[in-house]
Amino acid sequence: MIPPPPPVDWQDMIKDDLVTQIIEGRRRPGYRPDLPDALSQDNVGALRPPPPQAFPGMEDQLPVPDRWRLIESLGVVKERWFDPYHQNTYKGDRAIDRSKVPWLPIKGDDWFIVANAVSDTVLEPRTFPIPVGVQTTERPGSLDVFGKDRSFVFAQTFIVGAALIKGSTAFKPPDIEYRVTLAYQANYVDVPERRVLDVRPSKASHRYDSFLGVQEFFVDKHLGNTSDRYDFYSVRLGIQPFQSDFRGFLFNDSQLGLRFFGNRDNNRFQYNFAAFWRLEKDTNSGLNDITQSPRDDFVLTANLYRQDFPVVGLTSQVSVTYNMNREKNDVQIDHNGFPVRPALLGDLRGREYDVVYLGYSADGRIGRINLTASFYAALGEDRNSFFTSKPAQIRAGFGAVELSYDYDWMRFRLSGLYATGDGDPYNNTEGGFDAIFENPIFGGADTSYWIRQTIPFAGGGRVISINGRNGILNSLRSSKEEGQSNFNNPGTVFVGVGADFDLTPEFRVSANANHLWFENTSSLQALRTEGSIPKDIGFDLSVATIWRPKATQNIVGRLSGAVLIPGKGFKDLFDNKQKNDAYVSILANVILSF
């Protein structure tokens, strides 16, 4: 017979648990064992490892030149060219085997190739105020200023790029990099009115178009290091992306330029000195058009980033950006036949200007609060104000702040933006803030109705929009891509709240509620010949869902819906027979990446 187990003294067990563990590897929550005495090191000579000669037998072993060959030799990974998740030569995980590409003029065993391919599909039904054509309409008998408001956009973009890189980039900048990226877009648009898609009334109210653009084409040369932590300085020449601040408020584009950049003090400081010669854009796709001569529009910029300043966790940036425009004698007609330079406003004369943007931006956190902010002062001269036909001083300002707070799987956001408007169009000062080329990630970004859609300014100028597509400023430009900056504008005031909910690692829901106003409607009143126009634009409400089925960025699906509930100012500008109470934008987007 098996003897019974001895009785358990639970008091002794609890007492023992305070000192040690009942089960190995487990302990009572909050238990902190006494730490052993600190070890002191007094054999200084042992700090340096002995030389290889001290280990007999090492002469019979062969060193492995790199870790990717070791993994391949052991058979741990079998490479497949279409698999970006494992070791892949085409994703820069292994060096190029020169024997397989003898036509490449490279020397050495530290050359890598990085290929990428993206499919971006957009399906977008929407409604917005559409003016009735002057010469003819789609429906005889349409006498209202605005016609039907429903339209439809489908766009398919394929992006293919490759980079040839020399150097072990896991620990230091590349010694040299050659990169090229091409983008091809096919798009179809259907609207209910004539002379919206083409200047000729005979053209149908739907259009198919396609274009191939060069979005990157540069060489990046590593000039040297300034520390053993790979603080460096490099130069890049060619068509390259550049973003002037953290959220893309001022200048966020891919343009032809020369850029000198680097870092210092263990990467606590980063800096850029760059000069860009702006390329023309294709009208319907917005891609770079290198078949046309570059514009007489130049951007010179310098910025400095400082991490953990003025508090730990916050990065500060100061910048100076100079936009020199010399397009006074340039007449540009877009691919649809509409004049874009000069804009058909006021005296219709050509313009040129010099403007300097002084900026401060911050991004990071202060304690539990996430913070992003940008502030700009625009100072300069417009050689010809289209209201007075005389030179005018540019004096405008901009500020945007977003605060957010993370609570478990939720993030709550509060955002505000203020861009000054011109208070008196007929004096010698232009006070409306305008950017060079904005692409803001703010207030819901392109899922927001106001940021996503272009609202035409009918009745005050021909082929003029109040705001631009993928832009938040009320700039009264002919085109964000092909037009000039305009500092005679009504300005923008924006206040918004939002939240992001990561329901699963693959699924996110975002919601935004924004309210917009014109900062000053004096320029609108002058152009529309009205005594008063209210400032209230209205409420912009949006909901977006993002689905990443593999919890990566290789497959991303997005479905969003936005509605603009017009305020008194919007109704004053766009009132029609239908008495629209709301305008809607729906965006379905699928991105596949390799």
Contact 584, 107 (CB under 8 A): no
Query: Where does 70-77+84-101+109-593 sit in CATH, by number?
Result: 2.40.160.100
Q: What number of other Cβ atoms are within 10 A of residue 5's Cβ?
A: 6
Say which residues have a Cβ less than 8 Å from residue 557's Cβ, sequence separation at least 6: 546, 547, 548, 549, 589, 590, 591
Q: What confidence score (pLDDT) does residue 224 get?
A: 94
Contact 340, 348 (CB under 8 A): no
Alpha carbon distance, N-terminus to C-terminus of the chain: 69
CA distance 232 to 371: 29
Q: What confidence score (pLDDT) does residue 39 get?
A: 64
Dihedrals phi, psi of 484, to nearest 5 degrees: -105, 160
CA distance 473 to 398: 10
For residue 326, what are the CA distances in angstroms to 350, 386, 431?
10, 16, 21
Contact 405, 412 (CB under 8 A): yes
Domain spans in the chain, listed from the N-terminal domain onward: 70-77+84-101+109-593
CA distance 250 to 485: 11
For residue 585, what are the CA distances in angstroms to 217, 226, 448, 452, 492?
35, 51, 8, 8, 21
- Show the tokens assigned to 360: 């401060």
- Show the tokens assigned to 187: 């798009």
Q: What number of other Cβ atoms are within 10 A of residue 533's Cβ?
A: 19
Estimate the share of the chain in helix, then strand, then coil, as percent rounded to the nearest 5.
Answer: 10, 45, 45
Q: What confidence score (pLDDT) does residue 97 get?
A: 83
Q: Helix H segments across 1-109? A: 10-17, 67-74
Q: What number of other Cβ atoms are within 10 A of residue 52's Cβ?
A: 8
Q: What confidence score (pLDDT) does residue 80 get?
A: 81
The b-or-e profile of 170-207 (16+ CB within 10 A means b, else e) is: eeebbbebbbbbbbebebebbbbbbbbbbeeeeeebeb
Provide block-wise average pLDDT over 10 residues at a time, the chain (594 residues): 52 47 56 69 57 59 61 70 83 85 86 95 93 64 68 96 88 91 97 86 90 98 91 97 97 98 95 98 96 97 97 97 96 92 90 97 96 98 94 98 96 98 95 97 92 85 87 94 96 98 96 97 92 94 95 93 95 76 94 95
CA distance 451 to 441: 10
